[in-house]
A = this chain, B = another copy of it.
Amino acid sequence: MWKEDVTVGVTIGQAAKAVDVNVETIRYYHRIGLLPLPPRAHGSIRRYSIDSVRRLSFIRRAQQLGFSLDEIAELLQLEKTRSCGSARNIAEAKLADVTRKIADLSSIQNYLASLVRRCKAGKTADCPIFEALLPLS
């Protein structure tokens, strides 16, 4: 006999495996309203549609791009209107953010590199790392 609903979509475990995420994480996304609860088939067990899984994988990809869950929620809201301008605003803000972070890290990189370089070159007696970082006593 053909059980119509039960096999439509995947279980939470399969969805989790598909996007390489913890089952508890998916539940957490439900809790905070980031991912709508999928329909239940017969029993109490949820079935995740292809769309649900795609939404989940979007969340992970956006996270990798440095978006917070709040920002991701905002982006997912935009899906309803498909407002190109709003999405671009968010993307541009995030781009500015990332650019600033890169600049900050670059100056840290330069400083650390110069410390290491001078440390390698110099005598052990006056290690520039200690001089720069630990000006105690």
Report A104-120 CB contacts with B as 1/0, cut-off 8 Å: 01101101110110011
Chain A, range 116-137, C-beta contacts under 8 Å to B: 116, 119-120, 124, 127, 129-130, 133-137
Q: How many residues of A contact B (CB 8 A)?
A: 45
A91 x B129 contact (CB < 8 A): yes
B109 x A102 contact (CB < 8 A): yes
Chain B residue with minimal CB distance to A129? B87
B51 x A136 contact (CB < 8 A): yes
How long is the Cα–Cα vector from A108 to B96 in the complex, in angstroms? 11
Report A63-107 CB contacts with B as 1/0, cut-off 8 Å: 011100000000110110010100110011011001101100110
Chain B residues whose CB sits within 8 angstroms of the CB of A111 once the complex forms:
65
Chain B residues whose CB sits within 8 angstroms of the CB of A64 once the complex forms:
108
Is A17 an interface residue when CB atoms closer than 8 A count as contact?
no
